[in-house]
Amino acid sequence: MKTKRYAQSLCAILVFMAINLHAQELTNSYSETKNGITLEITLILEGAHISGDSPFMHTQLSDMDLLPSSQPFAPTLPYFGNPEPVWYYLGNETIEMPTDDVVDWVLLELRDAPAPELAYNNTVVDRQAALLLSDGSVVGTDGLPPTFSVSYQFNLYVVVYHRNHLAIMSSDELKETRGVYRWDFTRGSDKAFSNSARKGHHKALRQLKDEFYGMIGGDGDGNGQVQTQDKNGVWTPQSGQGGYLAADFDLNGQVQTQDKNEIWNPNSGLASQVPVEPGPVIDIDGNVYTTVIIGNQEWFAENLKTTKYRNGIPIEYPGTNNASWQNNTTGAYAWYDNDITWKDSYGALYNWHAVNNSNGLCPTGWHVPSHDEWTQLEQYICYQLGNANCETQFPYDNTTTGRRGTNEGNALKSCRQVSSPLGGDCATSEHPRWNSHSTHYGTDEFGFSALPGGHRSTSAFFHSLGILAYWWSSTGYTTTRAWDRFLHNNESSVARYTGSNGFGFSVRCVRDID
């Protein structure tokens, strides 16, 4: 057995810093290039952990000369029936250092996103295969801390992959201290991001002895889940064999019953919590919505259509009963002109009582944006368009009203318009679309795709389809009025006013970010 060089202490734990979204809006309009980002990452693999009160891991793969000299993340595909493992990587890293203290290969990945919930796989800026040492530290193939050269706009998050353990991602942005970006996954379940929006279990790390935490083992086929396939399709055909094998979950160079009983079995049903891609958002009625990331926010790219609150309770539908609409104080919705055929084009119109109902109007994980969240969007659009006085035009206050800004409204509008000067698919007379205007036409530069669904008045009449797009905020102004936003087909600005709670306006949802 080769001598282990156990370190005397783990890397210092990075103190969590809250994300100041408003401050970032003013500074994140450019990409920053960082040459030589050095990472100090600490983690434990459940399978290799030495039982006891230490964070140390065994190095039996190295001891038995089973550790491959080249990175192992580019196997022949399909890999146990999986056409592309989550860790598939074509880098050419090879070991350039003594391996007596190496536990196994890991793959590091940096993602650039406004918040961890939005760090999808399309935010990856760099990847690098590295080596995990027995004390939990991660080094490059030369034995030094891994170094990256990346350009990023928002915040950096680190993802760690292993060939038969579930991937993990830092739960907060990496912070620089004396030129080094540190993250320690071993000292708490909250150190790895947990995706509360995902169905099922939300465990990202396995609690080990003495409150150390490690990556969860048992994912033999690399699909990001511990499933029956990992036992039947990976462990069973490899059982009794020795070598550098996918089903060797405890990394001792042999596939044995203990791999199945002690690692696969207790972890069966668990899945990686690393965000993969912004999948479809589905409301309680089964309506599917597209979304768009704008600055530090993720918005619905279309208007809400649900007829039920998120808990399944129906929202009142007065229909042609005008008195019922006028007298409603608990929450109601309408289709424009009481005609459901407008649903798919413009969504529903909701009074503010529905917005304010404690049952929740938007799907789980989403909410109706506040007055400040609308302001955040407006300021971001303003700065991105290169406009001046954005904080003055769109202030964070509860007093400023009126048409604000210059061309921000056009940038938010869908380009679909009668006789749009943009031509092509943008020039259309078919709904959904804006009425014609030669100057104030939509350009949809940010994917918000605003469409003019009109409104229903407090007296129950319908107005302005094709002309006005109204949306509620969740922020009340008085007991009878609340903040709203609207765009007009013959104006390029964004209007902020307060509307009577009995009006029927469209609703957009924005993703919850802790």
Q: Give pLDDT, residue 153.
A: 85
Rounded CA-CA distance 79/389 in Å is 55
The burial of 386, by beta-carbon neighbours within 10 Å (0-12 exposed, 13-18 middle, 19 or more buried), is given as exposed
| Residues 60 and 252: beta-carbon distance below 8 Å | yes
* Cβ atoms of residues 227 and 268 within 8 Å: yes
Residue 203 pLDDT level (bands cut at 50, 70, 90): confident
Residue 94 has pLDDT above 50, yes or no: yes
Over residues 108-112, the mean pLDDT reads 97
Query: Quick one: pLDDT at residue 293?
Result: 85
Tokens of 451: 């469409």
pLDDT at residue 351 in the model:
98
List, for residues 435-468, the tens digit of each pLDDT value. 999 999 999 999 999 999 999 999 999 999 999 9
Query: How confident is residue 196, by pLDDT bands cut at 50, 70 and 90?
Result: low
Confidence of residue 34 (pLDDT cuts 50, 70, 90): low
Kindly tell me if the per-residue pLDDT of 280 is higher than 90. Answer: no
The reported pLDDT for the residue numbered 29 is: 35
Tell me what pLDDT residue 424 has: 96
Q: Contacts from 174-180 at CB under 8 Å and sequence distance 24+?
A: 174/14, 174/39, 175/14, 175/17, 177/14, 179/38, 180/38, 180/39, 180/40, 180/145
pLDDT in tens, 351-385: 999 999 999 999 998 999 999 999 999 999 999 99
**What DSSP line would sit under 127-158, residue for residue?**
EEEEEEETTSBEE-TTSSPPEEEEEESSEEEE
- pLDDT, one tens digit per residue, over 306-318 is 999 999 999 999 9
Q: Spell out the residues 6+ positions from residue 226 whose beta carbon is closer than 8 angstroms to its own.
A: 166, 216, 218, 219, 264, 267, 268, 269, 270, 271
Please give the residue that has the higher pLDDT: either 20 or 37: 37
Over range 499-511, report the average pLDDT: 97
In single-letter form, the type of residue at position 482 comes to A
Cα 51-52-54 angle, rounded to 5 deg = 105
Res. 30 pLDDT band, cuts 50 70 90: very low
How far, in Å, are 271, 331, 403 from residue 348 at the CA level? 36, 13, 25
pLDDT of residue 10 exceeding 60, the answer is: no
% of residues, the chain, pLDDT over 90: 83
Is 14 a residue whose pLDDT tops 60? no
Q: Give the pLDDT confidence score for residue 195 in this predicted structure.
A: 77
Give me the percent of the chain exceeding a pLDDT of 70: 91
pLDDT 10s digits, 311-358: 999 999 999 999 999 999 999 999 999 999 999 999 999 999 999 999
Q: Rounded to whole angstroms, how far apart are CA atoms 273 and 270? A: 9
For residue 284, the 8-state DSSP code is T
pLDDT at 201: 52
**CB neighbours of 96 closer than 8 A, spacing ≥ 6?**
141, 142, 143
pLDDT value for 35: 57
Concatenate the DSSP letters of all residues of 13-31 into one string: PPPP----HHHHHHH-SS-
- Neighbour-count burial for 298-333, b at 16+ CB within 10 Å, e otherwise: bbbbbbbbbbebbeeeebbbbeeeeeebeebeebbb
For 305-371, the DSSP string reads: --SB-TTSPBPB--TT-HHHHHH--S-BEE-GGG-GGGHHHH--EE-HHHHT-TT-SSPTTEEPPPH
Q: How confident is the model at residue 277 (pLDDT cuts 50, 70, 90)?
A: confident
pLDDT (0 to 100) of residue 276: 86
- CA end-to-end span of the chain, whole Å? 47
- Yes or no: say if 370 and 473 are a contact pair by the CB < 8 Å rule: yes
Q: How confident is the model at residue 514 (pLDDT cuts 50, 70, 90)?
A: low
Neighbour tally for 6: CB within 10 Å:
14
| HSE, side-chain direction, 13 A CA sphere, residue 117 | 17
Secondary structure in 3-state letters for 63-110: HCCCCCCECCCCCCCCECCECCCCCCCCCCCECCCCCCCEEEEEEEEE
Nearest alpha carbon to residue 109 among 80, 138, 135, 69: 138
Q: Return the pLDDT at 213.
A: 96
pLDDT for the residue 226? 94
What is the C-alpha to C-alpha distance for residues 66 and 161, in angstroms, rounded to an integer? 19
Q: Are 486 and 303 in contact (CB under 8 A)?
A: no
Q: How confident is the model at residue 296 (pLDDT cuts 50, 70, 90)?
A: confident
Confidence (pLDDT) at 353: 98
Mode of pairing for the β-strands spanning 32-42 and 180-184: parallel
Give me the chain's average pLDDT, please. Answer: 91
Query: Model confidence over 129-177: pLDDT tens digits?
Result: 999 999 999 999 999 999 999 988 889 999 999 999 999 999 999 999 8
